[in-house]
Amino acid sequence: MTVNVIGKPLPRVDGRAKITGVARYAADFNQPRQVHAVIVSATVGLGRVTGIDTAQVEKMPGVVAVITHRNAPRLPYAPHKSYIDPATGERLHVLQDDQVRFYGQPVAMVVADTPDQAERAAVALRISYTAERPIVDPADPKARPVVPEAGKQPDARLPADTARGAADSALADAPMRVDEIYEIARENHNPMEPHATVAAWNGDRLTLWSKSQFVINEQAEIAAIFGLPPENIQVICPFIGGAFGTSLRTWPHVTLAAMAARQVGRPVKLVLTRKQMFFTTGHRPRTLQRMALGATADGKLTSIVHEGTGETSRHEEFMEALTSVTTFLYSCPNVRTRYRLQPLDTGTPNHMRGPGEASGVFALECAIDELSYKLGIDPIDLRRRNEPTIDEGENKPFSSRSLMKCHDLAAERFGWSRRTPEPRSMRDGRQLVGMGMASASYPAFHAPANARARLLADGTAEVEVAASDMGPGTYTSMTQVAAETLGLPVERVRFSLGRSDYPPAPSHGGSWTMASVGSAIRAACIAVQEEAAKRPREGRPIEATASSQRDPDVAARFSMHSFGAVFVEVAVDPDVGTIRVRRAVGAYGIGRVVNPRLARSQCTGGMIGGMGMALMERTVLDTRDGRPVNAHMADYLMPVNLDIPPLEAHFVEEMDPHVNALGVKGIGEIALVGMAPAIANAVFHATGKRVRTLPIRIEDVLTA
Amino acid sequence: MLPFTLEKVTSVQDAIAAASSGRRFIAGGTTLIDLMREEVEQPDHLIDINMLPLSEIRIDGSDLVIGALARMADVAAHPDVQRLHPLIAESLIEGASPQLRNMASIGGNLLQRVRCPYFRMHDAPCNKRTPNSGCAAIDGLNAGHAILGTSNHCIATHPSDLAVVLVALDATMLVRGPRGERSFPVEELFRLPGDTPHLEHTLLPGELILAVRVPGGFYSRRARYLKVRDRASYEFALVSAAAALDVGDGVIRQVRLAVGGVGTRPWRLRTVEEALIGKAPDRKIFETAARLALEGARPLSGNHYKLELLPRTIVRALEMTGEAA
Ligand SMILES: Cc1cc2nc3c(=O)[nH]c(=O)nc-3n(C[C@H](O)[C@H](O)[C@H](O)COP(=O)(O)OP(=O)(O)OC[C@H]3O[C@@H](n4cnc5c(N)ncnc54)[C@H](O)[C@@H]3O)c2cc1C
Ligand code: SF4
């Protein structure tokens, strides 16, 4: 029997469970005798804890324990790093000493019978400090950029410096030049679901029900911190209420939950407050970028210089792909990139949807737009004139690249031909109307992954992987891959994920889950069928485990990326400066689309994230002590329903035989990537005012 | 949250009798509970007034009377409100979110507390929360703060949209307390911060808001509320303006104008109003008059843009009064 389900717009297999509340998220789990822990966060930005008055608080109703660096167990903190942890530096060790490295760092924890009692006691705990003024502003003259250690290696994935040709002299000689600084605010992921962990010990075995995009690594990390063999630790996370990268790393609250549970000898639930999610669970680093382009009068790029700096903490060097896309998006003989980090007294940043690419492409795609106006060339045409035939940075062919097809399709659907090129030339009533566009790109990553498939006597199948589903629809798309490979209807396939004792999967980030886990599932389903063909069933289940990875020879031969084109229309009020996105159209070349319904949902979600980046999101720090002042959903702005206009996502046909057997690239990140520059370019077209700082707000365009 | 007791009352007398210091009335709870969770508000006893018969919305002669317990959503959707006072409906719809508007009462809306972030942070000095502790916003982050009516002790903006409209419309408060009932202009409900920013309103101890009375008038025909902000909903105003014009024979005969987002209390602009009377309703005139709104404005490090945005918002709101809603 052949069942064709890959490519079908199947509704979410877990939709009903989510809508009816059956789906359980980390904080929904409860254990017998469970108590509740609340973290006390530092109220100074740099210094030392000099006193903690625990006696009063210990006597408060329901309080079971007050844990501070004075009575906390010294944890082994064995070295452990995975690829989602910064390669350089050491993770924050919690409650191991009296030092405060940044505002909001955990300095104590209160455990009580009920969440309210714990919360009350946490507020009542008096802590004294000696404090210094932290440096949290990248513009502070005392903040010094450093060369990222891991970027210095010759084979670094994110090299600190790259160069081909002679970019600086070519820039100086160029007849046409754009040379500008672009700045992007710090952003926090702000998923709906808070970080939460329920920790329960049984002897020296620990179970964690914990919000995680990477259960295998959470297992390994907690094992290292507590000095236990990983097999002793089980991490369970069946559902995630949005994450956008914040749950890739195992942050200190997981350690604290486990520590508290061990200390009080009872299971502990720990849920972060919204405010605490601005402290120790990562953020998109603030970036400052110089983007310089040189071109001939007919629009051929002769030089690109891209120098970017991202903030990081003092204790770790978080790196992201800030300058990567610049090396291959355009054909240009002379390109130089430089990536630096600026250590500040803050928590460590981490990956946030489209990490690095979203920020870097903002600078590149705004600069290209600026160049198009200088040259008087249509921005799509300018891109076409500089479309490369190979990845000139790596000197390799692309496995597939449909960028210009994306532009053609999106331009047509958007109605780009109706645009008049002159800035401030289009109006709708009083409103200034602007149309802008940008290219997007994100790597088609692929990591080794494993899967187990089991054929049951009743004709159904079970498939298991230690993967995650933070919302894109992994449950559904993986069920489709398994069903199609096994030749079964989807109703007869049950796919499970989110347990560290399942076959290992890579982190659920980097848009590689479909490619990596999907390929492993396909391999396991083929393996189990071969197994079944070898021996009669005899009523017993037949099981096979398989792994898959990208063929290293193919990986070495090709440059593999997704590409996309984003078109946006904005309206700007000429009197009061309000900026509203009126519609957006994206077209993407992402290989094979496993489920167009989910893919579209991913893309529109990414576009909305990009709207946030362009027009709303920023975490504002008080430079006196490093506190975020808008750590609140009413004050940290993100698009709400009324902001979201009609959004369209289209996919160009793209057969890529090289990326993997399924022919899929990634989709989650790329949809955010081009949105911010497309909006910024549309704002310029509407107003004639070029804003190079994100988010663009009313006050930026008021005097346009 | 600190432990507290809750008492439900069923008559206005009981409510007033139950009131004393350390106690609070609770209506929708959307301001109060939020602040109690953060321990900014620390009442030990709550008097639940939701059972009181104060939700009525009615017409009395040419006045509109809105009960203190009428919900924002109900007032906004009420046909008489929409017909006679579209301005009120507009200001309510522009506020908060649907969920909040379903809970939040008119009385609570007028007494909602400031949105200054430091007010909610126990580890920051704030004269309003903790008298004489200082003001973290003056030398801190103050992009959302006021430029009018500020003092060296507090610069927080009054956040209510509805209050701006009621002040523009010359509405009055009806309140009752241990010493009986009284009535006074809504504008007089709000205090300037001066050196006592912890005192925000002029209600006497134990006084309960019964209703708000809005006189009928010319402004039902040409009136608009314009709220300017970075996103389309669920955000407090950067600047807002309530404007009502009465135009006859080509000149402005009467005008009402109040602004939000810029003052430590809802800010009526009488000098601008006076400058408009007798003039033609055109953009040039509006622009000249709107400049007068900046009289006495004291911008801070983060809110200079309001000097530009305020007059523009006024001009636009005045213009909009001539356009269909
Ligand atoms: C996230 C968020 C966004 C918001 N956005 C906006 C906005 O954009 N615009 C806007 O205008 N508002 C906004 N609000 C504020 C909202 O409108 C108020 O919280 C609400 O109107 C308060 O009404 P309530 O009935 O819930 O008051 P409560 O919280 O019950 O009470 C507030 C205060 O008023 C007192 N009180 C209540 N009723 C009486 C009475 N009858 N007599 C005497 N005292 C009384 C209480 O004792 C308490 O001190 C927002 C609120 C939130 C939480
Ligand atoms: S502005 Fe007012 S509310 Fe804000 S910190 Fe200063 S005193 Fe407190």
For residue range A59-86, what is the model confidence (pLDDT) as tens digits?
999 999 999 999 999 999 999 999 999 9
Chain B 1-30, CB below 8 Å of chain A: which residues? Answer: 1-3
Residue B155, φ and ψ in degrees, nearest 5 = -130, 20
Top-level class of domain A31-132+192-242+247-278: alpha beta
Query: Which of A116, A629, A634 is the closest to B141 by Cβ?
Result: A629
pLDDT at A466 over 60: yes
Residue A669 is among the residues annotated as catalytic for this protein? yes
Kindly state whether B230 is in contact with chain A, defined as any CB-CB distance less than 8 angstroms. Answer: yes
Structure tokens at B43: 């009442």
R_g over Cα of chain A: 26
B306 occurs within a structural domain = yes
Tell me which chain A residue has its CA closest to the CA of residue B144. Answer: A635
Per-residue model confidence (pLDDT) at position A3:
67
Which pLDDT value is given to residue B23?
A: 95
Q: Does the residue B255 lie in any domain? A: yes
What is the pLDDT, as a whole number, of residue A562?
98
Query: Among candidates A308, A318, A323, which has minimal Cα distance to A281?
Result: A318
At position A113, the amino acid (one-letter code) is D
Q: Give the model's confidence band at A2: pLDDT under 50 very low, under 70 low, under 90 confident, else very high.
A: low
User: Residue B235: is its pLDDT beyond 60?
Assistant: yes
Percent of chain A beyond pLDDT 70? 99
In this predicted structure, the answer to whether residue B183 has a pLDDT above a threshold of 80 is yes
- Kindly state if the Cβ of B157 falls inside 6 Å of ligand 1: no
Report whether CATH 3.50.50.60 matches the domain A15-23+447-549. Answer: no
Distance of CA A101 from the midpoint of ligand 2 (Å): 27
Q: Using pLDDT thresholds of 50, 70 and 90, give the confidence band for residue B22.
A: confident
Model confidence at B219, pLDDT cuts 50, 70, 90, reads: confident
- The per-residue pLDDT for A537 is 65
Domain containing residue B28: CATH number: 3.30.43
**pLDDT given at position A157:** 93
B36-53 average pLDDT score: 96
Question: Which CATH class name applies to A149-187+283-444+557-701?
Answer: alpha beta
- Confidence at B323, pLDDT banded by 50, 70, 90: confident
Span A108-136, pLDDT tens digits:
999 999 999 999 999 999 999 999 999 99
- On whether the CB atoms of residues A440 and A674 are closer than 8 A, the answer is yes
Whether the pLDDT of residue B324 is over 80: the answer is no
Q: Is the pLDDT of residue A1 over 70?
A: no
pLDDT tens digits along B79-93: 999 999 999 999 999
Candidates A123, A639, A702; nearest CB to B308: A702
Strand ranges for A94-204 from DSSP E: 99-100, 106-112, 126-131, 161-164, 176-184, 196-202
Q: Is A593's pLDDT higher than 80? A: yes
Cα-based angle A471, A473, A475 (whole degrees, multiple of 5): 115
Average confidence score pLDDT of chain B = 96
Q: Is the residue at B117 inside a domain?
A: no
C-alpha distances (whole Å) from A32 to each of A37, A196, A238 are 15, 17, 20
Query: What are A30-64's pLDDT values in tens digits?
Result: 999 999 999 999 999 999 999 999 999 999 999 99
Q: What is the mean pLDDT of residues A504-526?
A: 96
Average pLDDT over residues B273-283: 97
Ligand nearest to the CA of B115: 2
> What pLDDT score does B161 carry?
98
Mean pLDDT score, A525-535: 93
- The distance of A699 to chain B (nearest Cα, Å) reads 6
Over residues A292-308, the mean pLDDT reads 98
Output the pLDDT for position B325. 55
* Whether pLDDT at A4 is above 90: no
Angle at A387 between CA A383 and CA A389, to 5 degrees: 175
Query: How many structural domains does chain B have?
Result: 2
Question: How much is the average pLDDT of B150-156?
Answer: 98
Residue B100 C-alpha, separation from nearest chain A C-alpha, in angstroms = 12
What integer pLDDT is reported at residue A427 of this predicted model? 98
Residue A513 has pLDDT above 70, yes or no: yes
Q: What is the CATH number of the domain that holds B237?
A: 3.30.390.50
Residue-wise pLDDT tens digits, B52-61: 999 999 999 9
Provide the shortest C-alpha distance from residue B116 to chain A (in Å). 9
Domain containing B294 equals 219-320
| Interface mutation target, options A41, A432, A629, A636, chain B, most CBs of B under 10 Å | A629
A634–B235 CB contact, under 8 Å: yes
pLDDT for res A28? 98
Average pLDDT along chain A = 97
The span from the CA of B49 to the CA of A306, in Å, is 63
Q: Is B29 in the pocket of ligand 1 (CB under 6 A)?
A: yes
In chain A, domain spans:
15-23+447-549, 31-132+192-242+247-278, 149-187+283-444+557-701
Determine the atom of ligand 1 nearest the C-alpha atom of B32.
29
pLDDT at B21: 85
**Average confidence (pLDDT) over A509-536:** 94
Residue nearest ligand 2's atom 3 by CA: B119
Taking residues A193-217, what's their average pLDDT?
A: 98
